[in-house]
Structure 1
Amino acid sequence: MILRFIHIVLAILLVYIFILFGRDYLKHKKENDGSIPKAAGIGFITNFLDALGIGSYAPTTMLLKLTKYMKSDKYIPGTLTVSCSIPVIVEAFLFTNTIKVEGTTLISLVVAAALGSFIGSKVMSKFNEKIVRIVMGVALVLTAILMLLSQLGILSALGAGNTAIGLHGLNLVIAIVGNFILGSLMTAGVGLYAPCMAMVYMLGMSPDVAFPIMMTSCAVLMPVAAYEFIKAGNYNRHASLGITIGGVIGVAIAVLFVKSLDLNVLTWLIIVVVTFTGIQMLYQGIKEKSQTVEEVEKESEKDSDKDSQASSETK
């Protein structure tokens, strides 16, 4: 019953984001903001890795920066949210064949994540480029730390011996608040998978229930958050179309044909590059902010000089 309900919700959201993004893309189809084939290649790689457990947000940001695809970093959060929506919904359809979690817990956490993403998208869509760089820089560094903890087996160790498939009372309230925060942070580029996994493990839940909670939360919150970015136009349309197309293909191949793959070396490489990218964005954002303050001070001094001159001439 719960599985059928989840699939109906995912189907509705799939149609919703397809129409929402499709209408906006067709409206601006003559605007050239990047190569669709290049974006499709990025989407294929990152969503293929997402289906195998690495995640897509940090690698996508990393490749967009390395290829210098984006004209402005301001559009990265929106592009991530819009472009990964359909691939993640497809991924959720293919993966959530069984739900090993209590319905109340699953629905509560998914709704909390969706509400968090809706509010987070409203905030992120209003930030200028320098603030986005700082936020994204912090997000990437945090993501790299969480990937490191996962790679070292620390996150999975938290769930060792846990048997609960649902939460009640205070623990459920904590989880709802936690997933609300994680949903809002995802619009800033902090992937939900690893922190959500750590949260449910620390609350005593079985490792088997982490995946449906993480996957369903992401599949629902992304289309919800995408609305604000699309309405404001704060995303790259060609990148989003390309990543969507490549992402769906990547997810399908990973789920249907690749049963297992040794990603140990690749994961370590991604952690290193994501860390470097995060620090670089953080540095650029802070440096740009400092320069802006200096420019404001210079402009104030010029205005003061002009006022003084005007005052002297008047006298």
Structure 2
Amino acid sequence: MTAATIILTLVVLINVIFAVRFIVDVVKHREEIKQEPGNGFMLALSSTLIFFFSTFGVSDFAISSILYRKTKWVSDKKLPGTLNAQCVIPVAVMALAFITVIDVDIVTLVVCIVAQIIGAYIGPRIVVKLSPSIIRKFIGIGLVIATLLILAGKFGLIPSGGTATGLYGGKLVIAAICLFAYGALNNIGIGSYALTMVTVYALGLNPLVAFPIMMGLVLFPFQSAVCSLLNMVSTAEK
């Protein structure tokens, strides 16, 4: 069994576990869910569009943050957990697709995934101590960063990628450190798509290689972050 096969198998197994726990939690809190302000039809429609654009590298965190705050469907306190939880299954599908069709060095992929898992595992322990106002400020900063990075890419102010399919030596270490930080930032509502894309581009990776890395490493950290974030929200709302 190859390393890629092992990763894909883990993607499926972890997401099956997540789906089961998510369904159990929904059933357990079904009366609370009925009181939520979000419109089911509009959420389904908006999510379809959000994750369609996500396959092109447009941050679903950024779009969702703006939409949910403008419509007041999700409170600022619940926003980081919501952003993480809603992405797990869709990003799993994207990860399976991108990892199987795009050639990427397996060592690079595994190192990047593990680095962000560790960052995401540590992150919730910090987020749980933050007030809604602080979380709101971080989300605002994240939106500004995402906007600036997108504009910088459009105007050619940042690298647009090289031809490499993997990172080695010092470049791999730099990527691991950066992705560790991005994993922690996920937990306060700052998406890692734009940050990861700029990082791997600057390190010389082929632009296409950025996608399996983004989808793969965005996927796994959510598993460790979601439960902690949802528990945090449940405790804070009592």
Q: TM-score, normalised by structure 2?
A: 0.89
Shift of 1:73: 0.9
Per the alignment, residue 18 of structure 2 pairs with 17
What do the CA deviations read for 1:42-72 (whole angstroms, capped 9, x no partner)? 21221122123322111111111121212x3
Per the alignment, residue 63 of structure 2 pairs with 59
* Matches of 1:45 and 1:163, distance apart in 2: 30
Contact 1:99–1:209 (8 Å) recurs in 2: yes
Per the alignment, residue 124 of structure 1 pairs with 127
Per the alignment, residue 147 of structure 1 pairs with 150
Q: Secondary structure at the match of 2:30?
A: coil
Larger Rg: 1
* Stretches of structure 1 lacking an aligned partner (at least 5 in a row): 236-315
Contact 2:58–2:193 (8 Å) recurs in 1: no
Contact 2:138–2:190 (8 Å) recurs in 1: no
Counterpart AA for 2:7: I
| Pair 1:7-2:8 in alignment | yes
Per the alignment, residue 40 of structure 2 pairs with 36
Q: 1:153/1:20 Cα in 2 relative to 1: closer, same or farther (>3 Å)?
A: farther
Per the alignment, residue 93 of structure 2 pairs with 90
* Matches of 2:142 and 2:210, distance apart in 1: 22
Shift of 1:234: 5.0
* Matches of 1:164 and 1:51, distance apart in 2: 21
Pairing 1:93-112 to 2, within 5 Å after superposition: 93-112=96-115
| Pair 1:197-2:213 in alignment | no
Contact 2:57–2:211 (8 Å) recurs in 1: no
Q: 1:75/1:234 Cα in 2 relative to 1: closer, same or farther (>3 Å)?
A: farther
Q: Secondary structure at the match of 1:73?
A: coil
* Matches of 1:88 and 1:152, distance apart in 2: 28
Shift of 1:95: 2.7
Q: 1:48/1:234 Cα in 2 relative to 1: closer, same or farther (>3 Å)?
A: farther
* Stretches of structure 2 lacking an aligned partner (at least 5 in a row): none
Shift of 1:16: 1.9
Contact 2:77–2:233 (8 Å) recurs in 1: no
Shift of 1:99: 4.3
What do the CA deviations read for 1:241-287 (whole angstroms, capped 9, x no partner)? xxxxxxxxxxxxxxxxxxxxxxxxxxxxxxxxxxxxxxxxxxxxxxx
Q: Secondary structure at the match of 1:77?
A: helix
Of the candidates 120, 134, 138, which is equivalent to residue 137 of structure 2? Answer: 134
**CA RMSD, Structure 1 to Structure 2 (Å):** 1.9
Q: Secondary structure at the match of 2:5?
A: helix
* Matches of 1:98 and 1:91, distance apart in 2: 11
Counterpart AA for 1:86: I
Identity of aligned residues (%): 33
Higher RCO (CA < 8 A, seq sep 6+): 1
After TM superposition, what 4+ stretches of structure 1 lie above 3 angstroms from structure 2?
none
Shift of 1:208: 3.1
* Matches of 1:137 and 1:59, distance apart in 2: 12
Would you say how many aligned residue pairs link Structure 1 and Structure 2? 231
| Pair 1:45-2:49 in alignment | yes
Contact 1:85–1:219 (8 Å) recurs in 2: yes
